[in-house]
Every structure is written in C-alpha cells, then in structure tokens.
Amino acid sequence: MIEIASQVSLQGYNTLALPACAEYFCSVTSEQQIAQALDYARSHNLQVTALGGGSNLLLAGDIAGLVIYLDLRGINCVDSCKDSVTIEFAAGENWHKAIEYCLQQGWYGLENLSLIPGNMGAAPIQNIGAYGVELCDLFVSLRAINIATGEVLIMDRQACEFGYRDSIFKHKYSNCYLITQVSLELWAQPQVNLQYPALAEALAAESEPTPEMVSAAVCAIRSAKLPDPAQIPNAGSFFKNPMVDAEQLKSLLADNPKMPFYSADNGWSKVPAAWLIDQSGFRGLRSGNVGVHRDQALVLVNFGGTGAELLALANRIQSEVLERFAIALEIEPRIYGQS
Ligand SMILES: Cc1cc2nc3c(=O)[nH]c(=O)nc-3n(C[C@H](O)[C@H](O)[C@H](O)COP(=O)(O)OP(=O)(O)OC[C@H]3O[C@@H](n4cnc5c(N)ncnc54)[C@H](O)[C@@H]3O)c2cc1C
C-alpha cells in the first residue's frame, strides 16, 4: 500500500528551493501504486499534481490536493535492428543519468540533451530541447494514465502535438495525465549532430567527434553558462524565447538595429528573451530575496525568497519588456499554488 502524508514540504523537491507544502503527498513506484493514489484522490475529492525532478516548477504557494511524485524505474530495449533501437524509459528515471546509461550501451542520439535536469516523465511535457535537438526528434510514444478515469492511453508523436517547448500536455491535456513511460528510437551506430554552432566550435579540433565527446562538450558548455541549481536555486530559462512575425521584426530592428534574432519557420523569427531582459536593465538585479542571474539574464534565481516574490519579479520583467519592445514574454516553468 502507498503511504499518503499530509503537509509535506516541497522545498527539497523543486530546484528553485521555494518554500511550499503539498496538502497531501505520496511517492509511487508502479502503475499499481498510481491506481491506489488516484483512488485515494477520487474518494477524498482531491485534485492531483504530478511531480518529477521539480526543475520546471514555480511554487507560488502551497499546493492543494495530492502531489504524486513519480518514481517508476527501468530502462529496457524492446526492439533493435542494425541501425536503431527502441528504448522504453520509466518516468522516474533521471534524464541525464539515462543518457549516460544509453551511451554505455551504445545507444546514441540523446547526447545534445545532456545535463538537462529532471526526469524522463516530464520530458514530453515541454518537448525538452537543447543544442539543436528536441525530444520530439527521437520520440516514438508514451504511456499515460488518465487522472480522472484511471484509463491507460498510448500516444504517438502526432498525438502529443509537440512544438517549441510545448505539447498537448500544456494545453488540452494540462494536468489530465500521469506519464509513466516514454519510448524513444535511438541510433545503434555512433552518429553526431553538430548543427549547433557553439557545439561545432567546441569540437572543431576533433577529426572524428564521437557521441561521448558531444555529451562531454555539452556538459562543459552548460556548466560554464548556467548556474547549478544545487548552488544557486533556479529553474533554468525562466521565459520562452518569443517569436515575432516579419512585420514586427522589421519595426523592432528599425528601433534596435543590434537586436539579435534567429530565422524560424514560415517567416517567423525567434528573439532571445535574455537580450530583451538585459536591455531592460534587469540582468544582475536583486529584488529582496530573489533576482536575475548576473551572467544569464534569462535565469531567475532564489536567494531565500518565496514563489510570490519570484512571480512578482517575473511580472515586473514582463511589463517592462512589453512596454519597451511590445513583446509579451511567456513564463516557461509551470506555476502552481497561485491563489
Ligand atoms: C539549470 C536548468 C537547466 C535547464 N535546461 C533546460 C534545457 O536546456 N532545455 C529544456 O527544455 N529544459 C530545460 N530545463 C527545464 C527542465 O529541466 C525540463 O523542463 C525538465 O523536463 C523538467 O523535468 P522535471 O522532472 O524536473 O519536471 P517537474 O519540474 O517536476 O515538472 C514539470 C511539469 O511536468 C509535470 N510532470 C512531471 N512529471 C510528470 C509525469 N510523469 N507525468 C505528467 N506530468 C508530469 C509537472 O506536473 C509539471 O507541470 C532546465 C532546468 C534547469 C533547472
């Protein structure tokens, strides 16, 4: 039987180290235990919140209802041919450790996503991406349990409606499913993806870069660029990079000729949110017990404050950027406990 505790502190369960309590909390290691937890929630009329590594959460206050920490484990190869393998990962597997394990087995393709914090089950929620690769590039399917009915659903890539840091789980299916397993198709032969300029530059001296070298290079770049949440609590990129259409880009460039941008699909361009925040004067700013990292304007940090303080700072940044550039920044972490 699962153990359900009440008034459990979540401060150690979120990388921003924000103080907040779960009204009820349990940890589950199997689908059977998930069924028990959902039965409990239904019979006590509790809303359910899924919790993984807590690296993409903003806990603005206590969370009402039952928080379920998904701790299912297991990595299995279920299909293989000369060039590819299909691997099933249980939701509670740590993302980076899973990549290390895959490299040891000779399963390739995830290296560019090395060192992203969090667990496997959350990876499809925002279609995690970095250094030229997104989860959806390797995704086959996922297994999820409907929170309201307990029914199991298998969803393929199309059904997940992946986009830039986006999926159906942020919209139509928001807080509707618990993902228990993710299946990915990986390469059985070493291949590398060096499309991302900083990565190509880092490995320029290697005549035959290996997947292991790519993983190590990504880890080195990330460690140099991003603050470690264990030392300075943060949730990585706090805002999504906004997309602007051709007309808005033209008018922005007329006023800000040095504004960086990257061409995306269908005439849209991506503007680095970090640049907009920096230009608005927030980089390195400290406001009470929260602030903006001094080197990375996109990373909001917690010096011992609350989720409400952090959210107030985020809203201040959004207002200033909107006023200066007419761009509405979207917060990337999922916000919970907001009254
Ligand atoms: C330093 C740092 C760097 C980062 N870099 C990147 C990056 O390069 N690219 C990137 O894309 N992201 C990045 N992130 C964000 C984050 O690591 C990812 O979004 C990650 O996938 C979150 O996983 P998690 O297990 O911590 O999820 P959590 O924070 O626990 O949860 C995030 C959301 O997913 C839901 N959820 C979690 N598990 C499940 C499940 N099994 N079933 C259903 N819903 C679930 C939660 O309810 C919540 O809504 C970074 C974060 C940090 C702190």
Substitution site in 48, 56, 119, 178 for ligand 1 pocket (most atoms within 8 Å of beta carbon)? 56
Whether the CB-CB separation of 147 and 176 falls below 8 Å is answered with yes
Taking alpha carbons only, the member of 239, 91, 248, 69 closest to residue 165 is: 239
Count, residues in the chain = 339
If we measure between CA atoms, which residue out of 24, 49, 34, 52 comes closest to residue 150? 34
Report d(CA 107, CA 84) in Å as an integer: 8
Both tokens of 212, joined, read 């292991």
pLDDT band with cut points at 50, 70 and 90 for residue 1: confident
Cα–Cα distance for residue pair 304/314, rounded to 1 Å: 16
Most distant CA pair in the chain, distance: 64
- Segment 195-202 shows an average pLDDT of 93
**Predicted pLDDT of residue 130:** 95
Residue 190 alpha carbon to ligand 1 centre in Å: 27
Atom of ligand 1 nearest to the CA of 174: 49
Which domains are present in the chain? 5-70 (3.30.43.10), 75-225 (3.30.465.10), 234-336 (3.90.78.10)
Phi-psi domain of 128 (left: phi exceeds 0; alpha: psi -120 through 50; beta: other): beta
**Structure tokens belonging to residue 148:** 């309201």
Query: 256 C-alpha to center of ligand 1: Å?
Result: 33
Q: What is the mean pLDDT of residues 163-169?
A: 94
Interval 262-313: pLDDT, tens: 998 889 999 999 999 999 999 999 999 999 999 999 999 999 999 999 999 9
Q: Take atom 14 of ligand 1 and give the residue whose Cα is closest.
A: 236
pLDDT score at 338: 85
* Ligand 1 centroid – CA 55 distance (Å): 5
pLDDT of residue 339: 72
pTM: 0.95
Residue 88 predicted with pLDDT over 80: yes
d(C-alpha 286, C-alpha 239), whole Å: 18
**Cα of 339 to ligand 1 centre, how many Å?**
22
Measure Cα distances from 327 to 264, 272, 313 in Å. 17, 11, 17
Q: Write down the pLDDT at residue 199.
A: 95
Give residues (CB < 6 A) around ligand 1.
15, 49-57, 70, 91, 116-119, 121-123, 125-126, 128-130, 165, 177-179, 226, 229, 234-236, 334
Question: Which of 28, 94, 116 for mutating ligand 1's site (highest number of atoms within 8 Å of CB)?
Answer: 116
Q: Where are the beta strands (DSSP E) in 157-305?
A: 177-187, 234-237, 243-244, 262-263, 269-270, 286-287, 290-292, 299-302
Question: Active-site positions?
Answer: 165, 237, 332
Question: Contact, 310 vs 300, CB < 8 A?
Answer: yes
pLDDT tens figures, 7-59? 999 999 999 999 999 999 999 999 999 999 999 999 999 999 999 999 999 99
Among left, alpha and beta (phi > 0; psi -120 to 50; other), residue 242 is beta
Closest protein CA for atom 11 of ligand 1: 128
